[in-house]
Amino acid sequence: MMNNLKRLLSVVLVLSFVLITAVPASAATTSGYMVTTDNTLYRIAEEVVGTTRFVYTLDKSANTLKTEAYDESGNKLSTKLVDLNEILASSEYAYPTDDVAVASTGYYQHTFANYEYDQLTTTKYQLRNKNSYAIRYTTNNLEAINNYIEAVDLLNAAELAVIASGGATVLWAVLTYLSGGLTAGEAALAAGAAAVEVTALSLAIDNCQRVWRLYVDV
């Protein structure tokens, strides 16, 4: 069901690109994007868009993203906090129950960015990243399973945030731009999306990749 939705949205995305790509990615004046902190609690990144410096703090335990903007003199211009737990719990943007994999005996989590987990039995999980998958058992891989589930759930919430702010077509555009190497600020500008939600999505994808490398792909 979800795969069919993905294919349908892919068609819509191709058609919408006629309009979306009218905003060239080169128009972004983004520079100096870097991740300054990445540990089990936080992932912090900074970038400069025009004359404004943005600091993005992803709190992994609280599932919140704080965006702070500063001017050239270092004065704080604004602060915005996004609670991804509230977005994930919102029934308005939750995935339909019939999208749950029929073959699964437990819980299945799908993301549009293709980072997923599927509980096959009470002790057996199939974990997937964008390019591969792994079977892990709770008997000896519980830490890896739990860490990856948390990372994927956070990514799911971040995707829902982009859908809530701009729609599924915008989400696909953002994912395409991010996979093409643009920073979060550049992808948001090119896709006409909200920068803070795109930043949360970008950091959540990075977090999934990090958890996969550290805990699953070993």
Take residue 103 and report the two structure tokens written for it.
């073959």
* 52, 39 Cβ separation under 8 angstroms: no
- The model's pLDDT over 146-184, given as tens digits with 9 standing for 90+, comes to 989 888 888 888 888 888 778 888 889 999 999 888 888
Confidence of residue 212 (pLDDT cuts 50, 70, 90): very high
Q: Which of 9-23, 96-110, 113-127, 128-142 has the lowest mean pLDDT?
A: 9-23
CA distance 206 to 149: 14
> Is 17 or 50 the better-scoring residue by pLDDT?
50
CA distance 180 to 18: 17
Average pLDDT, whole number, for the chain?
74
> Is 85 or 59 the better-scoring residue by pLDDT?
59
What's the pLDDT at 185? Answer: 83
The reported pTM is 0.60
* 173, 13 Cβ separation under 8 angstroms: yes
DSSP 87-146: HHH-TTTSPPGGGS-TT-SS-EE--TTS-EEEE-SSSEEEEE-SS-EEEEEHHHHHHHHH
Q: Residue holding tokens 């437990």?
A: 106
Name the strand (E) or helix (H) holding 7. Answer: helix 2-20
CA distance 213 to 195: 27
Say which residues have a Cβ less than 8 Å from residue 191's Cβ, sequence separation at least 6.
Answer: 20, 23, 166, 170, 173, 174, 177, 198
- The model's pLDDT over 117-156, given as tens digits with 9 standing for 90+, comes to 988 888 999 999 988 899 999 999 999 999 898 888 888 8
